[in-house]
Amino acid sequence: MHLAQIRSRLDHERRLLARDGEVLDVLPAVTRLRAADASWHSVPFSSLSAQTANAAIAGEIEHHRRLGAAFEWKLYAHDRPPDLAQRLRRSGFEVGPREAVLVCDLTIPPPWMTGDQHATVVPVESEEQVLAFRRVAEAVFGKPYDRTAGELLAALRADSTQHRGYIACAGDEPVGIGRLYTHPDSHFAGLYGGGTLPAHRRRGFYRALVAARARDAARLGARYLIVDALPTSRPTLHRMGFQWLTDTWPCDWRP
């Protein structure tokens, strides 16, 4: 893979791409992205210099303060200026833990993508399954998943394939979950929220969830899988052939 070209394509999509249920505002220095119902706000892309960064940060804080809305500035390691994280922190943002952005080339399907799977993975296709997804997600990650569950339910009702949930089952018992984001104009399919209940880890459910989403991503036209990986999942994904692209940090501001 030509990683520099992939990073360039990622930046292009951060700048210009919105999925179902999202609203994009492309400004000269930043891109704003928000839910259509205004339930969340973010800055997924910026193009700044040492001379313009502080004013752009102050402008985004003032814009969201007027809305009375918290927002996330999605920072990447290759964003400029190099000290953007420190500038955001000094401006009152909480800079979260580093995540590794990993990619996998779907145009050369890896063996695990099409090989035999020992775990059953089903897509979320009903309101009952959304409830099951939420129960498992909250047990795995220890936090509320009402917003994500609402987004999955909205996608189902709109017959959208751009945000899909998946459940891994041990027999009839849901034991793992994951999500997939796609877009017909995107080179990437995003893997989000993959996890397994503690009692069922190290039994192949996580890999099966990745494989099921990879097959759907390829069917929907994506060229690459992309994932923001925490240290817990990064070793498994490396063994599956994912390559490091860059690093990212969630930077949160609250009014």
Identify whether residues 82 and 166 lie together within a single domain. Answer: no
Identify whether residues 118 and 194 lie together within a single domain. Answer: yes
The answer to whether residue 201 sits within a structural domain is yes
Identify whether residues 151 and 189 lie together within a single domain. Answer: yes
Identify whether residues 128 and 80 lie together within a single domain. Answer: no
The answer to whether residue 217 sits within a structural domain is yes
Identify whether residues 93 and 119 lie together within a single domain. Answer: no
> How far apart are the C-alpha atoms of 236 and 85, rounded to whole Å?
28
Place of tokens 């979320």: 124
Q: Per residue in 17-69, pLDDT tens?
A: 999 999 999 999 999 999 999 999 999 999 999 999 999 999 999 999 999 99
Identify whether residues 129 and 204 lie together within a single domain. Answer: yes
Structural domains in the chain (count): 2
What is the tally of helices (H) and strands (E) in the chain? Answer: 8, 12
Helix (H, G, I), strand (E, B) or coil at 66: helix
CB atoms closer than 10 angstroms to residue 177 = 30
What pLDDT score was predicted for residue 82? 97
Q: Domain range holding 187?
A: 108-222
The answer to whether residue 248 sits within a structural domain is no
- Give CA 224 to chain center in angstroms: 13
What pLDDT score was predicted for residue 226? 98
> How far apart are the C-alpha atoms of 186 and 11, rounded to whole Å?
12
Instruction: Give CA separation, 133 vs 124, 173, 209, in Å.
Output: 8, 11, 13
The answer to whether residue 25 sits within a structural domain is yes
CATH number of the CATH domain containing 175: 3.40.630.30
- In three-state form (DSSP H/G/I as H, E/B as E, the rest C), the secondary structure along 175-193 is EEEEEEECCCCCCEEEEEE
Mean pLDDT calculated for residue range 177-199: 97
> 28, 63, 98: which is the final residue of a domain?
98
> 70, 98, 126: which is the final residue of a domain?
98
